[in-house]
């Protein structure tokens, strides 16, 4: 059975809706305003782009997509979501809960991320799903809050590292998005990498933690941070490659450009809080990668959306439903 209402509400309040005062409240307000601004600008840009699109050509381009490319993209999506499960594994190790089996960590990761991202409320839905799964295995609200923070840390470390490396390899990759010259972009990428290296060294020197008595977070050690970065790069790299193999070869778009624009699209979509980054992710991809002929790129984007967002979302919902049904049946059969 579902947890009782008071426990459920306490978990929601402690994990997903922490009280913010003063500077934190203002930062949260600025974040909401920025997210709305990003979403509005993206929808405006996307509307302008789609005005001149031949939708018959888009459907024809989808039909022309080779089955082998779809299969390869699906395998890469599987690698991406498989690496996501390691986010939770590392978080569990950091909070010293190695007794939780991998299948539970994988279940919590695979159900929470696609559903929360698909709904568009990652910071709200993901902790609640994780709490529902982990609470059956002895983890409390503070444990789940720590896991959510640490998995988010892995996400950002991997994203920012992959973005910086991509911009170093091709500094003009996102010039359509940022309007900066390649030398300035390269300097920003170097600064970003130096910041990540600084955090890595800082965490390597001694155990780190922050918080208060009610909620104390133990940060991962240096070697674990390095592993977080590697896993994050695999996650984003596999997803970007899935997008890359679906783009027609005749468009002559390089892998580093695809990776940089893809990560920028993911981050902007995340910041907008739109369900699956809809509108924001798509506009960023079309502006960053599209030139005159956008129909083949829209076709690749539609196929990618089905493989990376729609299929995992439906699968995660079904899996979570099966797990809940099994728990209800098990509870009814208890004496």
User: Is 256 within the bounds of a domain?
Assistant: yes
Length of the chain: 335
User: Is 281 within the bounds of a domain?
Assistant: yes
User: Is 32 within the bounds of a domain?
Assistant: no
User: Is 28 within the bounds of a domain?
Assistant: no
Q: What is the mean pLDDT of the chain?
A: 81
Beta bridge partners of 211: 216
Q: How many domains, in total, are found in the chain?
A: 1
For the segment 294-313, the average pLDDT, to the nearest whole number, is 91
How much is the pTM? Answer: 0.83
- In this prediction, residue 2 carries a pLDDT of 43
> Each residue of 223-271: pLDDT tens digit?
888 998 999 899 989 999 999 999 987 778 888 888 888 988 888 888 7
Rounded-to-integer distance, Cα 310 and Cα 23, Å: 37
How far, rounded to the nearest angstrom, does the alpha carbon of residue 12 sit from its chain's CA centroid? 21
User: Is 2 within the bounds of a domain?
Assistant: no
- In this prediction, residue 5 carries a pLDDT of 42
Give the pair of three-digit tokens for residue 79. Answer: 């690698």
pLDDT at 112 over 70: yes
Residue whose tokens read 């993911």: 266
> Each residue of 29-81: pLDDT tens digit?
565 566 566 666 666 666 766 677 788 888 888 999 999 999 999 999 999 99
User: Is 87 within the bounds of a domain?
Assistant: yes
Domain that holds residue 136: 41-333
User: Is 29 within the bounds of a domain?
Assistant: no
User: Is 92 within the bounds of a domain?
Assistant: yes
Rounded-to-integer distance, Cα 78 and Cα 238, Å: 9
């Amino acid at each position: 059975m579902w947890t009782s209402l008071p426990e459920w509400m306490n978990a929601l309040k402690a994990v997903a809706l922490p009280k913010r005062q003063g500077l934190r409240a203002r930062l949260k307000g600025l974040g909401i305003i920025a997210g709305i601004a990003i979403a509005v600008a993206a929808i405006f840009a996307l509307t302008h782009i789609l005005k001149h699109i031949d939708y018959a050509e888009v459907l024809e381009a989808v039909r022309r997509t080779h089955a082998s490319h779809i299969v390869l993209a699906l395998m890469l999506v599987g690698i991406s979501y498989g690496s996501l499960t390691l986010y939770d594994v590392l978080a569990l190790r950091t909070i010293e809960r190695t007794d939780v089996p991998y299948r539970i960590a994988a279940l919590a990761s695979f159900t929470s991320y696609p559903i929360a991202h698909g709904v568009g409320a990652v910071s709200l839905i993901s902790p609640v799903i994780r709490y529902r799964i982990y609470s059956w295995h002895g983890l409390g609200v503070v444990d789940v809050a720590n896991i959510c923070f640490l998995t988010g840390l892995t996400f950002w470390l991997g994203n920012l590292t992959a973005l910086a490396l991509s911009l170093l390899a091709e500094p003009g990759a996102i010039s359509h998005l940022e309007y900066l010259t390649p030398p300035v972009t390269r300097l920003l990428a170097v600064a970003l990498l130096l910041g990540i290296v600084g955090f890595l060294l800082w965490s390597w020197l001694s155990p780190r933690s922050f918080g208060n008595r009610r909620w104390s977070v133990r940060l991962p050690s240096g070697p674990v941070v390095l592993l977080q970065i590697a896993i994050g790069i695999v996650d984003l790299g596999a997803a970007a490659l899935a997008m890359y193999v679906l783009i027609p070869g005749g468009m002559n778009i390089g892998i580093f450009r695809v990776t940089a624009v893809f990560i920028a699209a993911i981050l902007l979509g995340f910041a907008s809080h739109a369900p699956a980054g809809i509108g924001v992710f798509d506009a960023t991809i079309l502006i960053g990668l599209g030139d005159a002929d956008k129909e083949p790129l829209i076709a690749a984007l539609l196929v990618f959306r089905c493989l990376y967002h729609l299929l995992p979302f439906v699968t995660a919902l079904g899996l979570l439903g099966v797990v809940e049904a099994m728990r209800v049946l098990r509870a009814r059969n208890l004496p």
